[in-house]
Structure 1
Amino acid sequence: MRVIISGGGTGGHIYPAITIANEVAKLAGNCEILFVGTKHGLEADIVPKEGFPFATIEVRGLERRLSWKNVRTLFATIGSVWHAAQIIKKFKPDVVIGTGGYVCGPVLLAASLLKIPTIIQEQNVIPGVTNKILSRFVDKIALGYQEAADYFSCRSEKITITGNPIRPEVMSASRESGVAELSLDPDKLTVLVVGGSRGARSINNAMFGVYRYFSNNQRIQILHVTGQSEYNSIVDNIKQSGIEISSGGNIIIKPYLYNMPVALASADVAVFRAGAVGLAELTARGIPAILIPYPYAAENHQEFNARALEKQGAAIVIADKELTDAKLIEALEILLDHPEVLSNMAKKSKELGRPQAAQAIARLAISLKETLI
């Protein structure tokens, strides 16, 4: 089986693509996979390191308003479709899969015009512009959320609810190994605070009051991943503010975690943004969450992602503009003081989890190929 996978720009598009690729290779047996991205995106660095062949096209994203730049981009896209078509004709894939990012547009459009089976994977409740356009051309749409189906004006038989792909390590990591690796106390509830790989300033600022309130608390321990760029200023501010966190030993602050799966395995509560991949990992592990959606995400999609979990009883949502240390402390206390609430949220989160999403998408790709045999 020969498969082209396209997705890029951010890790949120690239890592799911890699997870799908590995699952296709495992299920299909004899399989050749080619990634198509841009030379400027993160995919140009990440994909070759994962051992996959990588081809590039020149393409730019559209602005979300009328502009002359968009006119120029549309003309450039015509050339990108032609270039993508040449790559496709040379590789001769059985299926082409797109996981998001504007690079998918020319690749999936070219494949569709060449009558090659195509799949797009939409991670968020609010679909991106590229995927909305592509939905009219592709054969199948794999959705991370049921709610996203309402935003596609295509035949319902095109749509499959698969969930969002997660790394297999997220499920294989054990609490025992996580506690040991991160030097945590196995008898305390662990609160994992992560604002994304670069951190989240609003969450980091709110944590100062949380440090002060929970320092020396014997019930919980807090593992706060600040992001590399924020770490030094947070440590300096802690010293200047006279907040004592070292004596209690229940507050751990790190700039970055390379092994996030073990942190997730150790967590009893998570304080997170609401990116689709992060939420997929939380629900796969059944972790109750306090979500602070990133307010500047395209189409405010993180807010909709977060509210979908809140509606099902798996999360508490605090709007970024309303976030304060007092609100975060209050939300944490609700969960810590009411074990039945925490337990029920964990159950609801687990019910939403789809740890086999990558396998479902891989099987969908294989089934598309088999319909042509």
Structure 2
Amino acid sequence: MKILLTGGGTGGHIYPALAIGKYMQQQDSATELLYIGTERGMESKIVRRANVPFESIEITGFKRKLSYDNVRTVIRFLRGVNRSKQLIKQFKPDVVIGTGGYVCGPVVYAAARLGIPTFIHEQNAIPGLTNKFLTSFVSHVGVSFEDSLSYFAKAKQVSFTGNPCASQVIEAIPGRGRASLDLESNQRYALIVGGSRGAKALNQAVIALAREQEQLEKLSQYRIVFATGEIYYDDTLQALKDNAAYRNGQIMLLPYINNMAEVLSDASIVISRSGASSLAEINALGKPSILIPSPNVTNNHQEANARSLESVGAAEIILESELSGTHLLEKLSALLLDDHKLAKMSAASQFLAVPDSASRIALALARIMKR
């Protein structure tokens, strides 16, 4: 089988595509993959690092306001469609899978026009512009949140699949996360991560949190593992180098976590943005969480994602406008010092999990390829 993958811009679009590809290769080792993205997007590095063949097209996203730039975008889109058709005819895929981001627009559209089975996956509670555009053309739509089904009423087929990233993290072996952090086998820790690129507001809050020495001493049995994001690491390290909690090891700084599934698996609680793939991983592992939705996303979809967890008691939310070191530490302390509350949140998180997401997607792909 040959599978063409596309999606980009953020890790939230890229990792689900790679998760689907990996799962399909696990089912059939003869499966060939090709990924189409842009050279400027994160996918150019992430996909190549995953040893998946990569080709690129040039495309930019539409502005939501009337702009001459949109005329250029239409021209790039048409060129992207032509380039995609060339790559598709060369690779001859059995199915084309798009996971969002503007790059998948011309690729999936081109495949649909060529009569190739197409599947798009929507990770967020509120669909992105590209997936909305593609709805009428594709063979099947998969969604991560059941509440999203209504957005795709015009689709030929649509199903609740969950997020394929969930299927990967459940394979994490307990204890390896602690070992990779050089922690004792029984050491408990809170994991703070601001997404694949980091989050400036969260970094500033953690720097402020580190100054709350009296409150931190009440959490002496916990470590705080903070992935700053590579672009914020040096500044954060400089700000904390003389801080007592950092110097005594209670706060651990990392620029990036390559074995996220393992580190996430061993965490007692997770503080993060609320990108859909992150939430899928959190739920798959049944982790309590404090979510800080990014306000800088289309349709404020991260808050919608986070509210879906909050509504069942799986997470608590701090809006970025309310975020401070003191507020974050107060909420974190209240949860870490209440094992009963953590257990209830963990059970609620597991309730939302869709651990067989990848197999659901594989079933949908099998159906559209038989037509």
What's the TM-score once normalised by structure 2's chain length? 0.92
Deviates more, 1:66-75 or 1:161-170: 161-170
Q: Which residue of 1 aligns with 2:16?
A: 16
Q: Which residue of 2 aligns with 1:234?
A: 236
Q: Does 1:255 align with 2:236?
A: no
CA spacing shift, 1:91–1:208, aligned 2, 3 Å? closer
Partner Cα separation in structure 2 for residue 173 and residue 290 of structure 1:
22
> RMSD between aligned alpha carbons?
2.1
Q: Which residue of 1 aligns with 2:180?
A: 181
Unaligned runs of 5+ in 2: none
Aligned length: 368
Q: Which residue of 2 aligns with 1:219?
A: 221
Q: Which amino acid aligns with 1:221?
A: R
Q: Which residue of 2 aligns with 1:277?
A: 277
Q: Which residue of 1 aligns with 2:311?
A: 311
Q: Which amino acid aligns with 2:193?
A: V
Partner Cα separation in structure 2 for residue 93 and residue 207 of structure 1:
46
Partner Cα separation in structure 1 for residue 117 and residue 171 of structure 2:
33
Unaligned runs of 5+ in 1: none
Q: Which amino acid aligns with 2:120?
A: I
Partner Cα separation in structure 2 for residue 288 and residue 51 of structure 1:
33
Deviation at 1:105, TM superposition (A): 0.8
Deviates more, 1:223-232 or 1:104-113: 223-232
Deviation at 1:221, TM superposition (A): 1.8
- Asked if structure 2 preserves the Cα contact closer than 8 Å seen for 1:188 and 1:218, the reply is no
- CA distances 1:207-257 after superposition (whole Å, capped 9, x unpaired): 2343322147333221112222323332333356xx412565432222222
Partner Cα separation in structure 2 for residue 23 and residue 164 of structure 1:
13
Q: Which residue of 1 aligns with 2:40?
A: 40
SS in 2 for 1:164: coil
Partner Cα separation in structure 1 for residue 305 and residue 272 of structure 2:
12
- Asked if structure 1 preserves the Cα contact closer than 8 Å seen for 2:207 and 2:240, the reply is yes
Matches within 5 A, 1:116-127: 116-127=116-127
Q: Does 1:159 align with 2:148?
A: no
- Asked if structure 1 preserves the Cα contact closer than 8 Å seen for 2:240 and 2:246, the reply is no
Q: Which amino acid aligns with 1:43?
A: E
Partner Cα separation in structure 2 for residue 260 and residue 42 of structure 1:
17
Q: Which amino acid aligns with 2:330?
A: E
CA spacing shift, 1:51–1:311, aligned 2, 3 Å? same
CA spacing shift, 1:27–1:262, aligned 2, 3 Å? closer
Deviation at 1:165, TM superposition (A): 1.6
Q: Which amino acid aligns with 1:203?
A: L
CA spacing shift, 1:127–1:203, aligned 2, 3 Å? same
Q: Which residue of 2 aligns with 1:299?
A: 299
Identity %: 41
Matches within 5 A, 1:103-182: 103-155=103-155, 158-166=157-165, 170-182=169-181
Deviation at 1:185, TM superposition (A): 4.0
Partner Cα separation in structure 2 for residue 29 and residue 223 of structure 1:
37
Q: Which residue of 2 aligns with 1:339?
A: 339
- Asked if structure 2 preserves the Cα contact closer than 8 Å seen for 1:24 and 1:363, the reply is no
Partner Cα separation in structure 2 for residue 48 and residue 232 of structure 1:
26
Deviation at 1:74, TM superposition (A): 1.1
CA spacing shift, 1:246–1:367, aligned 2, 3 Å? same
CA spacing shift, 1:74–1:204, aligned 2, 3 Å? same
Deviates more, 1:288-297 or 1:205-214: 205-214
Q: Which amino acid aligns with 2:154?
A: C
CA spacing shift, 1:230–1:216, aligned 2, 3 Å? farther
Q: Which residue of 2 aligns with 1:364?
A: 364
CA spacing shift, 1:180–1:91, aligned 2, 3 Å? closer
